[in-house]
Amino acid sequence: MTRVILITGASRGIGAATVRLAAQRGYAVCVNYRSSAEAARTLVAEIEQSGGRAIAVAADVALESDVIRLFRTVDNELGTLSALVNNAGILEPQADVDSMSAARLQRVFATNVFGTMLCAREAVLRMSTKRGGSGGAIVNVSSMAARLGSPHEYVDYAASKGAVDTFTIGLSKEVGDAGIRVNAVRPGLIDTDMHASGGEPGRIERLKGSVPMQRGGTADEVANAILWLLSDEASYATGTFIDVSGGR
Ligand code: NAP
C-alpha cells in the first residue's frame, strides 16, 4: 500500500525539497502551502511527471478550520496518513525584543507553535493505534535558533522553536505506546528564501564564518534527515533531535 505523507509549508525551501525526496521514496504527497499556489502547482506537476502522486492544498496552519479541512482533504484524496512533517514556519524582520509588538508575537507563535500543535493533533487522531489507526511518524522542523536564542535578530522566532522542541518531547512520550514516533530536526543556516523574509537575503554569507563547516546548508541536506527520521531505519528513535547545522 502506498504510504501517505503531509508536508506543511511545502511550496518552496525545505518543504519543497522534502516533497521531492518523499516522492522519490514512494510516498503519495500532500503539498500544503498558504499563498504560493503557482509554486505548489508546479511542484505537483513535477512529481506527477516523474511518475509520483501528489496534491496541493492551500491552508493556513495557524487557523484551526483550515487545518481540519487540510487533513480531511488528505483523507479523501490520498487515503490513510502515515507521516506528517510540520515544516511551515515564519519569521519577521530582524528586531530587538524591546520593539516587538504583541501582533508580531501572535503571528509568529500562531504559525510556528499553534500550527505545529494543531497539525500534530489531527495526525494523532488518525495514526493512533489506540483509536484504530495504523501508527505513523511525525517530524517537526525546529531550528538551531531554539538553542542559540537569535539575539538582535528574532528572539520571538527562537522562542517559538523552543516551544516546538518541548512539544516534540512531550508528544513523543504521550503517543509512544500508540504506534507514533515524534522527532524533530534543527536546521542551522540553510539556503532558502527565509532569510530575505527577515530582511537580510545575504545572512548566510555574513554568518557562515561562525559555522564550524564554514558554509550554509542546503534544503536537500535537511530533507535527508527528515526522511531518515520518518523511515523504518529510525524505528527506535522518538523524542529526539537531529541538528543539521554544520556543527554550529
Ligand atoms: P521558506 O523558504 O520561507 O518557506 C516557508 C514555507 O512555509 C512556504 O512554503 C510558505 O508558503 C509556508 N508557510 C508559511 N506560513 C504558513 C502557514 N501559516 N500555513 C501554511 N504554510 C505556511 O522557509 P524555509 O527556510 O524552507 O523553512 C522551512 C522550515 O524550516 C521553517 O519551519 C523554518 O523555521 C525552518 N528553518 C529554516 C532555516 C533556514 O535557515 N532556512 C533554519 C532553521 C529552521 P507560502 O509561500 O504559500 O506562504
pLDDT at residue 157 tops 90: yes
**pLDDT at site 122:** 99
**Span 4-244: which CATH code?**
3.40.50.720
**Residue 1 pLDDT class (50, 70, 90 cuts):** confident
Can you give the residue ranges of every domain in the chain?
4-244
Is 114 near ligand 1, meaning CB less than 6 Å away? Answer: no
Give the burial class of 39: count Cβ atoms within 10 A of its Cβ; 0-12 exposed, 13-18 middle, 19 or more buried: middle
- The set of cell numbers assigned to 167 is 512539544
Report how far ligand 1's centroid is from the alpha carbon of 164 (Å): 14
Q: Are 232 and 174 in contact (CB under 8 A)?
A: no
Report how far ligand 1's centroid is from the alpha carbon of 197 (Å): 10
Q: How many Å apart are CA 82 and CA 51, to the nearest integer?
A: 20
Q: What DSSP assignment string belongs to 39-94? A: HHHHHHHHHHHTT--EEEEE--TTSHHHHHHHHHHHHHHT-SEEEEEE------S-
Is 160 near ligand 1, meaning CB less than 6 Å away? Answer: no
pLDDT in tens, 219-236: 999 999 999 999 999 999
For the CA of 110, the nearest atom of ligand 1: 18
Q: Are 9 and 34 in contact (CB under 8 A)?
A: yes
Residue 232 DSSP label? G
Q: Are 43 and 54 in contact (CB under 8 A)?
A: yes
Report how far ligand 1's centroid is from the alpha carbon of 131 (Å): 31
Is 115 near ligand 1, meaning CB less than 6 Å away? Answer: yes
Residue nearest to atom 7 of ligand 1 (CA): 9
Is 192 near ligand 1, meaning CB less than 6 Å away? Answer: yes
Report how far ligand 1's centroid is from the alpha carbon of 231 (Å): 23
Is 19 near ligand 1, meaning CB less than 6 Å away? Answer: no
Q: What DSSP assignment string belongs to 211-229? A: STTSS-B-HHHHHHHHHHH
- Between helices 13-24 and 37-49, what is the axis angle to 10°? 20
- Between helices 155-174 and 102-109, what is the axis angle to 10°? 40
Residue nearest to atom 46 of ligand 1 (CA): 36
Tracing cell 483509536 back to the chain, one arrives at 131
pLDDT at residue 210 tops 90: yes
Q: How many Å apart are CA 188 and CA 45, to the nearest integer?
A: 30
pLDDT above 70 covers a percentage of the chain that reads 100
pLDDT in tens, 23-81: 999 999 999 999 999 999 999 999 999 999 999 999 999 999 999 999 999 999 999 99
**pLDDT at site 154:** 97
C-alpha dihedral sign at 66, 72, 78, 84: positive
What are 186's strand-pairing partners?
243
pLDDT in tens, 83-100: 999 999 999 999 999 999
What is the identity of the amino acid at 5? Answer: I
**pLDDT at site 66:** 99
Mean of per-residue pLDDT scores for the chain: 98
CA distances from 191 to 13, 77, 147, 157 (A): 8, 32, 20, 18
What are 56's strand-pairing partners?
31
Q: Which residues are catalytic?
A: 157
Q: Which of 6, 7, 11, 14 to mutate to test the pocket of ligand 1 (most atoms within 8 A of CB)?
A: 14
pTM (2 d.p.): 0.98
pLDDT in tens, 99-142: 999 999 999 999 999 999 999 999 999 999 999 999 999 999 99
- When pLDDT is averaged across residues 7-22 and rounded to a whole number, the result is 98
Helix (H, G, I), strand (E, B) or coil at 187: strand
Report how far ligand 1's centroid is from the alpha carbon of 88 (Å): 5
CA distances from 112 to 81, 92, 122, 165 (A): 22, 12, 16, 11
